Structure 1
């Protein structure tokens, strides 16, 4: 799926970055590190609201696919669907998401958000969802954040979930992340909680991937900060 490289005036000047992960993986630290980069604006989670626009996009495409006859008549079951410019109307929905959900400040170079629910769209649709993001969010990069399943299972609300369910979730997500990275190596970067916990130097690779300088003092302050949640 070819990306849309046109940048609106109210979009970040250099594109978008999305932190793709699951809960209790250290993604808030990752969000803070990216947020600290000059000209970056990274929101927190939005309950995977973007998936609704993806559903909208897929539904319209499916409706046009089901309509096999050109110019369906007024009494036809798919009357008017052939007149819909799916990409154009989806672009309007994405523009609204950027302007009213992300609320990107003027002068932002890179914007985005972190989300622990991207995989909720399902295994079969996951890569298509990320392709959709690449298509409609210009110059997108993905940061996949992982954590050892045992650590996840002992953290936060996961302690109340069956261990093997947590293990299955982590293994499934990690495989999805790896598969997408292999198919799109230039726009994907993977981090792991165990590598960067208490270790600011582990973020050198991320900074290089984003094309940004490594500020050890600033990143150390973030890594050392105790999160209350």
Structure 2
């Protein structure tokens, strides 16, 4: 991706959900919009990047070294550590993620991805979204949910203890709700059971993204058979 391609990105869009929530249909709808490229799952590749950024931001060692007021020297074990700029590191990591993972195309106006593993690192959930909000162009967050009993009966979830599954879903949705309450202006909550059968239920998505509602496009996407109907176990899934 060239610098000019990077600069043409008007917004970034992130689907935050759990497995078997119907999020691939949502991804397909977004990819049907002109100039949108919504990548699929990436095994939570963002997490280790954010962990390094967050670690530097909260580093007591760096704060102590800066408080001394004199640069560290080449004879010291943490030589140069206090000079690392956490904000610049975050921006550079975000640029690499955008360029190498999201990979906008020549005519891309909006780019992003969906992931089902956000809740698996709960301590990093808010930092990951903060990272995206801080360093990605015009970040928009879509929280996608589905009726819990349907999720329990779908894919790998049906091989797990029902109570364990319900606890995971409830914990994930609590993380979603907490972030939305604190950042309502850039968040949209969608429910698969609402939009899977009703074209009108997609209108809030178009409004949220500032796109004109296209009933014919919605009908076409809803009528298209998804290619992953036979489920596959995701990477890192027990």
TM-score of the aligned structures, taking structure 2 as reference length: 0.87
Change in Cα spacing, 1:62 to 1:183, as seen in structure 2 (3 Å) is closer
Change in Cα spacing, 1:9 to 1:120, as seen in structure 2 (3 Å) is farther
Contact 1:199 1:220 in 2 (8 A): no
Runs of 4+ in 1 over 6 A off after TM superposition: none
The corresponding residue for 1:226 is 225
Distance of 1:58 and 1:198 partners within structure 2:
41
Residue 112 of structure 1, CA deviation = 0.3
1:85-96 matches, within 5 Å, as: 85-96=85-96
Among 46, 51, 70, the residue aligned to 2:42: 46
Contact 2:145 2:191 in 1 (8 A): yes
Distance of 1:85 and 1:10 partners within structure 2:
26
The CA RMSD measured in Å over matched residues stands at 1.5
Does 163-172 or 93-102 show the bigger shift? 93-102
Does 171-180 or 24-33 show the bigger shift? 171-180
1:1-229 matches, within 5 Å, as: 9-11=4-6, 12-63=8-59, 65-67=60-62, 68-69=64-65, 70=68, 71-122=71-122, 124-229=123-228
Distance of 1:131 and 1:29 partners within structure 2:
26
- Structure 2: runs of 5+ lacking an equivalent: 229-238
The corresponding residue for 1:4 is none
Distance of 1:81 and 1:121 partners within structure 2:
27
Distance of 1:59 and 1:9 partners within structure 2:
31
- Structure 1: runs of 5+ lacking an equivalent: 1-7
Residue 225 of structure 1, CA deviation = 2.2
Encode CA deviations 1:173-199: one digit per residue, 9 max, x unaligned. Answer: 111111111111110000001101222
Distance of 1:129 and 1:96 partners within structure 2:
15
Count of residue pairs the alignment pairs up: 220
Encode CA deviations 1:137-180: one digit per residue, 9 max, x unaligned. Answer: 12100000001111101011111111111101111111111111
Contact 2:188 2:208 in 1 (8 A): yes
